[in-house]
Chains A and B, each alone.
Chain A
Amino acid sequence: MAHIHYREFDGPGPGFYAVLGVLGALILIGLAAALYMEHNGHWVTGMSNQIVWGTPHVFAVFLIVAASGALNVASIASVFGRQLYKPLSRLSGLLALTLLAGGLAVLVLDLGRPDRLTVAMTYYNFKSIFAWNIFLYTGFFAVVAVYLWMMMERRMNDYSKPVGMFAFLWRLTLTTGTGSIFGFLVARDAYDTAVMAPMFIIMSFSYGLAIYLLVLMAAMRGSGREFGDVVFGRLRILLGVFVAAVLYFATVYHLTNLYITQRHGIEGFILVHGGQFTTMFWLGQIILGGVVPLAILFSGVGKSRAMVALAAVLVILGGVAQMYVTIIGGQAYPMPLFPGKTIVASSFFDGQIATYTPSLPELALGVGGFALALALAAFALKVLPFLPQSLSDADADPHHESAAKKQAAAA
């Protein structure tokens, strides 16, 4: 591959600032929602003592998982030596940082005491996976920042491979930590399983690439740069493989639970009679988030870029649905406090399916986190050269027919 040129985003100003304006408004609404919740207390949300992690956690965990996945594109270039992905690496590192920032902002603003962030950073219980995650998340910012520096500073380019390797291992550890937040919970039937960690890793591949692809398409198009079929096709197929892998892990998870009699309750709840959670699982996670994108990405329909973009949007929506089912559905099903007995009365909802309806402030905070991630990325694209000047087929693959034509024309 010839030398890659990068340039700041140079698309038409009004469009760019309109996007930034909309994102800014969403961020402000999200902040107002957080302030409203903190001022009144969490009773104004859909959360309760039954559902203690609500919609903000759905968005926060989704964004954090997607953040580690967004770094994958860079890893493919640095760690696995695929030159085709090299021009895509800077944006990959950038999105990893901004998505994590968006997710963490939501997570922190949903704390009962967000003002005690300094406490969270000065008092540690190292048996807690949350405490490890605080290091994994803050460390991720530092590692990826250094990785970007190695990639963007020509004198440091030689180090991008070892640093990229380190960043890759770090992100695998990070997503293991995020999945294990649930995997290590012994009390609830929906969790307490080691498959959570690898499942979250593969989910990160899928969500991260879906967001990456959409941002790349928008940025290249917005700045009038060529985005050839060679790179595009590669990313499309890769997304398809990741979506299939997520479905595989979801199948393994549910099959395991279906085999364990003790867990038939939670499985019946999620798969058959769980109301909104069953709908969210089949319609959101499986059909819209899995089957339809697969059909688009691996068929002739995938020749259309609009359809591929739609598939990526569906992967994101399906991912949010999967988080909703995992986090909220997993809590809504009661814990097995008295096996062999039915709880006929309790003033604390023991043995009952918990009800949950997302409230507007919770949704606003979650969407605000998304907006923050995208706004930070847009701003960075504007001020620093993250985007390749071209992703044309000729640039991507010197043996591509368009390159041959170009050479012939030059001759």
Chain B
Amino acid sequence: MSLSRRQFIGIGGAAVAAMAAPGLRLIELANARSPAEAATSLQRWGLLVDISKCHDCDACVTACSTENGWYGHNRPASDPQWIRKVTLKDNQSGYVETLPVMCQHCEEPPCVDVCPTGASFKRADGIVLVDKHICIGCRYCMMACPYKARSFVHEDTTNQKPYAPRGKGTVESCTLCVQRVDAGRIPACVEACNKDGHEAMVFGDLNDKSSEISKRLASAPSTQLRPDLSLNTGVRYQGI
């Protein structure tokens, strides 16, 4: 069997990639925080959505649902939605744009303020979560959230992911894929958007001035949703 030069380069390239991939994965794991190590305020995780690159698709929504195991029952009003796509039209100009909306991971989260038991909490690294063990299902956080980011689990749950527990009668929302972030990976929505070639979402550490997200935010104007509320959100948008 003789290989043409082209074939040789092709197979050789694939072999190098196959060997490098686990290595890259190891680097990823080496960078990750050990499970025993607490999240610290050295990081502030954030997400940048570039609306000019956001297409009329829902790859981010599907990826989130698959990753975190939330799904509907054909009852849109009571079905959970951790992330959704919203299409806007400017009242003056009629300009139409589409963007994903999810928990904005506020620095001053109203949901955390109002939660009577402390089930709604913010980690030191800025990720806002619900402790499903002490959520009593009062839904006050849903009244307080300006972004309508939270869902109440209206029915029994099945096929839960071990890293994303859900429970009937408790409240849930985007976790910024905390299980991935803690393993040094990026959230599922961002990964899906990148995979489709849109690259409308950038995840990273807002405290690290050399991170891509910090550089992008420093180089072009961006906004928060409801900036009037001074919540200093971790999710930022460009191009609204």
Give A contacts to B, CB under 8 Å. Answer: 38, 40-43, 47-50, 52-53, 111-114, 116-117, 119-120, 123-125, 127-131, 133-134, 181, 184-188, 331, 335-338, 340-350, 354-355
Question: From A182, which residue of chain B is reached at the shortest CB distance?
Answer: B143
A337 close to B101 (CB less than 8 A): yes
B117 close to A344 (CB less than 8 A): no
Counting CB contacts under 8 A, is B138 at the interface?
yes
Scan B160-181; emit 1 where CB is below 8 A from any A CB, else 0: 0000000111110000000000
B137 close to A338 (CB less than 8 A): no
Number of residues from B at the complex interface, CB < 8 A: 61
Q: Chain B contacts of A335 at CB under 8 A?
A: 146, 148
Q: Chain B contacts of A131 at CB under 8 A?
A: 116-117
Q: How far is the CA of A50 from the CA of B138 in the complex (A)?
A: 14
Q: How far is the CA of A49 from the CA of B75 in the complex (A)?
A: 11
Give B contacts to A, CB under 8 Å. Answer: 58, 61, 73, 75-81, 84-92, 96, 98, 101, 110, 112-119, 134-140, 142-148, 150-156, 167-171, 225-226, 229, 240
A343 close to B88 (CB less than 8 A): yes
Q: How far is the CA of A357 from the CA of B134 in the complex (A)?
A: 30
B77 close to A49 (CB less than 8 A): yes
Q: Can you list 24 residue pairs at the A/B interface with Cβ under 8 Å?
A: A41-B154, A43-B155, A49-B80, A49-B148, A52-B152, A112-B170, A116-B134, A117-B136, A124-B118, A127-B112, A128-B113, A185-B143, A187-B144, A187-B229, A337-B148, A341-B88, A341-B89, A342-B91, A344-B89, A346-B87, A348-B84, A348-B86, A348-B101, A354-B77
A187 close to B146 (CB less than 8 A): yes
B168 close to A112 (CB less than 8 A): yes
Q: How far is the CA of A134 from the CA of B117 in the complex (A)?
A: 11
Instruction: Please tell me which one of the listed residues A40, A125, A346 contacts residue B118 in the complex, with CB atoms under 8 A apart.
Output: A125
Nearest Cβ in chain A — how far from B182, in angstroms? 24
Question: From B113, which residue of chain A is reached at the shortest CB distance?
Answer: A127
A346 close to B86 (CB less than 8 A): yes
Q: How far is the CA of A133 from the CA of B146 in the complex (A)?
A: 23
B225 close to A42 (CB less than 8 A): no
Nearest Cβ in chain B — how far from A331, in angstroms? 7
Given A123-B118, A124-B116, A344-B96, decide whether A112 and B138 contact each other with a Cβ distance below 8 A: yes
Q: How far is the CA of A158 from the CA of B76 in the complex (A)?
A: 61
A125 close to B225 (CB less than 8 A): no
Q: Chain A contacts of B79 at CB under 8 A?
A: 49
Q: Chain B contacts of A343 at CB under 8 A?
A: 86-89
Question: From A57, which residue of chain B is reached at the shortest CB distance?
Answer: B139
Q: How far is the CA of A287 from the CA of B9 in the complex (A)?
A: 85
Instruction: Please tell me which one of the listed residues A128, A331, A336 contacts residue B114 in the complex, with CB atoms under 8 A apart.
Output: A128
B92 close to A340 (CB less than 8 A): yes
Q: Chain A contacts of B139 at CB under 8 A?
A: 52-53, 112
Nearest Cβ in chain B — how far from A400, in angstroms? 51
B88 close to A111 (CB less than 8 A): no
Q: How far is the CA of A127 from the CA of B75 in the complex (A)?
A: 34
